[in-house]
Chains A and B, each alone.
Chain A
């Protein structure tokens, strides 16, 4: 079993829909990152979470440390949100980031 599991693997939605991407992990962590990888390959860091909830524009990220689960929400989705969203956890024990396999999101106009 992978240390970091994301669901769904692929998600297609209509413009304007509310999107939820989930990330579950099995190790003790000190931080969780959400990344966005554009179709051209570039990677952008969206959020770093160690507890609670963060919001940036139409994006919201939450983490539940006890349940070892995080969610990324996109409100009023837009075709420009189409990308791969990657969850990564920082294992304080071995000081490295471990990545999920990503969720490919496609928003149809």
Chain B
């Protein structure tokens, strides 16, 4: 158990809908990362937050948005869903102290999103 929790575990929805994925980091971790893993693209970095502020942005679509709240939990909002958004969405957390990607990241169990 990494200490990172993600809800829900599974989500089935229809095209055009909007969903919210939730992540609670390990106790004491200030950084939260979101990743998408699809069958054809592999793992891709979406976005990182550090202590409530956006720190780095990856291949995140404009239909997607995220935020980190004062209690450090994070939410990833996916809107106008398309079939191609079906994927595993992972959240990870790290202490956030070391620069240059040297922090060890602890991954949550993932949310499997199916868009029908």
Interface, chain A (partner B; CB < 8 A) = 29-31, 33, 35, 41-45, 48, 50, 86, 88, 90, 92, 94-102
Contact = CB atoms under 8 A, between A and B. Distances in A.
The secondary structure that dominates the B interface is strand
Given A92-B101, A96-B56, A41 B109 contact: yes
Contacts of A45: 104-107
Nearest to B100: A30
B58 A33 contact: no
Given A43-B90, A88-B43, 14 more contacts: A30-B100, A30-B101, A31-B100, A41-B112, A42-B110, A43-B107, A48-B102, A50-B102, A92-B100, A92-B101, A95-B55, A96-B45, A99-B42, A99-B44
Contacts of B66: none
Interface in B84-116: 88, 90, 92, 99-107, 109-110, 112
A43 B100 CA distance: 21
A101 B38 CA distance: 11
A33 B42 CA distance: 16
B97 to A, nearest CB: 13
Given A50-B100, A90-B100, A98 B109 contact: no
B65 to A, nearest CB: 17
Contact of B101 (A35, A86, A90, A100): A90
Nearest to B47: A96
B17 interface: no
